[in-house]
Amino acid sequence: MYPNGTPRQAKISHLVTHGSEPALRGILLGYPRLKNAHGAPISLPLSACRPASTMAKLDILEFPDPRLRLEAKPVEAFDSRLRQLADDMLETMYEAPGIGLAATQVNEQKRLLVIDVSENHDAPMVLVNPELLDARGSEVCQEGCLSFPGVFADVERKEWIRVKAQDVSGKPLEIETDGLLAVCIQHEMDHLIGKVFVDYLSPLKRSLLLRKLEKQRRKAG
């Protein structure tokens, strides 16, 4: 997802983790009211992040590549290869630049997504096997997508969501959030089922946007 969303800055109402160590690799560093399973506040350092030298930039699939319509499969192996893929996806997202990227967009059919909606790009979030548990309200915001470079459209999303997932080690976590983070999570989770943001548009608006996308590609050579 492109960093052009218009909702207010994301806010986490709470984050519940299970196990002795909270979540992963700096997930949601700096957001208010993060709590563990016992209700105590937690702080999540970035010290476990790998140095950039071990990361690799991946190719992002662009629409209408048919691989964007493939449905991702649940992750079962929480190993070094999964951690490397998550690191590479974060590197690719930051380089793009973007605020969210799903594994489907880099031709990896795994239920894995990475997000960082922080202003300083220092709060990487990795969600494995995300599942929407609850959603309320609605809001319209302007969305872009790294698979649709340079074009944006207003999309209606749920205003507040509750999601469960796992970190790269397989530990379960649960998040309640609204604002930009909620929009970004919904956008990236759509990719995991082969859905893209233009699917929410009317046929006319979708046609105009895709025509603009093609025009920009021709202009870029």
- Checking DSSP bridges between strand 139-145 and strand 172-178, what pairing results, if any? unpaired
Query: Which residue in 91, 119, 188, 214 is the catalytic one?
Result: 188
Per the annotation, the verdict on 188 as an active-site residue is yes
Q: Distance between CA 199 and CA 201 in Å, rounded?
A: 6
What residues contact residue 58 under an 8 Å CB cut-off, 6+ apart?
88, 89, 91, 92, 106
What residues contact residue 189 under an 8 Å CB cut-off, 6+ apart?
102, 113, 130, 132, 163
- The answer to whether 57 touches 95, Cβ cutoff 8 Å, is yes
Which are the catalytic amino acids? 188
